[in-house]
Amino acid sequence: MAQMTETADRILTTADGTPLKQALARATRRNKIRAFILVAPLLAFVLVSFIIPIVDMLARSVDNPEVQAAIPETVALLKDWDGTGLPPEPVFAALAKELSDKSKRSEIGRMGARLNYEDSGFRSLLNKSQRRADKVTSGPYKEGMIAIDADWGKTSVWKTIQLTAPSTTFSYYLNALDRTYDENGNIVMQPEWKQIYVHLFVKTIYVSLGVRIACLLLSYPIAYLLATLPASKGNLLLILVLLPFWTSLLVRTTSWIVLLQTNGVINDTLVWIGIINDANRIEMIYNMTGTIIAMTHILMPFMVLPLYSVMKTISPNYMRAARSLGANPLVAFVRVYMPQTIPGVGAGSILVFILAIGYYITPALVGGQDGQLISNFIAYHMQKSLNWGLAAALGAILLAGVLALYWLYDRIVGVDNMKLG
């Protein structure tokens, strides 16, 4: 033992006196470079298509350049205003000058859109002022501006501009959490009729959990069957599981519409058998039920495959051993088989959950009013309202939520225990 510690203290060298670590590094450098060159294309692709968009999205969620870009002088002067009464005359003068600057029309338009998120009167106020600002060519500018629109005489309007002026803001995040700044810069709840996102996040999580549990309950027996059947039959069944994978997502979703709609196959059959009468057809689509049914179906393979790959490795001898030791089939299954499938359950669950939490097409098509999830609103803000800042903030919160859940999962189950295939 003493000898061993002695050698450990000394720096080990090769025969010609180079330190051993250095020699090793040199010997493996070539392989490392080769390995890096092999992964470089993928690394570049991931960087461009994944990392950069995410960073951009995170930046956009706090980015707030509109007011600054449209009326920089006014903003600079407004900085010193104490927020009581109205700003001093020079501020009005700068505003009148900058609003009448024709070269800044589009910036002012964007500023109007930005301020409209805070208070919906701003766009028309700015449009109106912009059209008439060139008439206010000499002082007193304050009276001139108020003459264009009485709103310029309101302290709250100026406070909002002052508050929205900094080039970064958390107001998108507050908005995404149904909160907002009041005119004094305090964080307050949105008025009740504007509170939708927190409820939507909670609903999305519940739906994802529900889909996850439905997937698990339905997939477990399938995976078990797949894993225990002889190879020839098992492979056929596996193809049946994979078949939906190879079918367009849109086709699968719309086929659910055909099946579930009020005059669809299932309702018609039930009416024909006489279980329900024609007047009381079941509403199974364009609501939450439709969303859950279709999502469960579409996400099932993501549960079946990890489960199958884990179950495939469990030797039938474990069950036999349990039986021979005196356990009836149920006890043997619950106490010996099921614990060994935990890695597959974990992998499938987290996969389905994370996919479900960001699911978009299916709820959009079959969700109706009630079955929309958070991703549908992100898409709405990306495409319709063009409020990218809010879309980015919603997306960032979703991402943070997924990462938090992943961390939690790692703490409870352990990611090392997960087996994806």
**Which residues are near other proteins by CB under 8 A?**
315, 317-318, 320-329, 331-332, 335-336, 339-340, 342
- Nearer residue to other proteins within complex by CB, 3 or 328: 328
Backbone angles phi, psi at 187, to 5 degrees: -85, 120
Task: CB nearer to other proteins: give 19 or 329.
Answer: 329
In the complex, what is the shortest distance from the CB of residue 306 to other proteins, in angstroms, rounded to a whole number?
Answer: 18
CB under 8 Å to 93, separation ≥6 — which residues? 139, 141
Under 8 Å between Cβ of 144 and 99: no
| Of 229, 417, 235, residue with least CA distance to 341 | 417
Measured from the CB of residue 328, what is the shortest distance to other proteins in angstroms?
5
- The residue (of 245 and 333) whose beta carbon lies closer to other proteins is 333
Asked if residues 296 and 214 have their Cβ atoms less than 8 Å apart, the reply is: yes
What is the number of other CB atoms lying within 10 angstroms of the CB of residue 89? 13
Compare residues 333 and 380 and give the one whose CB is closer to other proteins. 333
Residue 325 Cβ vs other proteins, minimum distance, rounded to whole Å: 4
What does the DSSP 8-state code read for residue 166? S
- Residue 313 CB, shortest distance to other proteins, in Å, is 11
Which is closer to other proteins, CB of 233 or CB of 335?
335
Distance CA 111, CA 165 (A): 10
**CA–CA dist 353, 299 (Å, integer):** 9
Q: Are 284 and 200 in contact (CB under 8 A)?
A: no
Return d(Cα 241, Cα 306) in angstroms, integer: 13
Cα–Cα separations (whole angstroms), residue 135 to 12, 90, 96, 149, 253: 86, 17, 9, 13, 58
CB of 229 to other proteins, least distance (A): 15
Q: Which is nearer to other proteins, 12 or 415 (CB)?
A: 415
Q: Which is nearer to other proteins, 179 or 323 (CB)?
A: 323
- Burial of residue 281 (CB within 10 Å: 0-12, 13-18, 19+) is middle
From CA 14, how far away is CA 105, in angstroms rounded? Answer: 73
Q: Which is nearer to other proteins, 127 or 324 (CB)?
A: 324
Burial 262-277 (b: 16+ CB within 10 A, else e): eebeebeeebeeeeee
Contact 200, 373 (CB under 8 A): yes
DSSP string, 44-93: HHHIIIIIHHHHHHHHHTTB--HHHHH-HHHHHHHTT--SSS---HHHHH
Give 144 or 346: the residue with its C-beta nearer to other proteins.
Answer: 346
Beta carbon of residue 333, minimum distance to other proteins (angstroms, whole number): 12
Q: Please state the closest distance from residue 412 (CB atom) to other proteins, in A.
A: 16
**Do residues 244 and 252 touch, judged by C-beta distance below 8 A?**
yes
The whole-angstrom separation of Cα 217 and Cα 209 is: 12
If you write DSSP's letter for every residue of 174-188 in order, what string do you get? HHHTTEEE-TTS-EE
Q: Which is nearer to other proteins, 126 or 322 (CB)?
A: 322
CB of 197 or CB of 220, closer to other proteins:
220
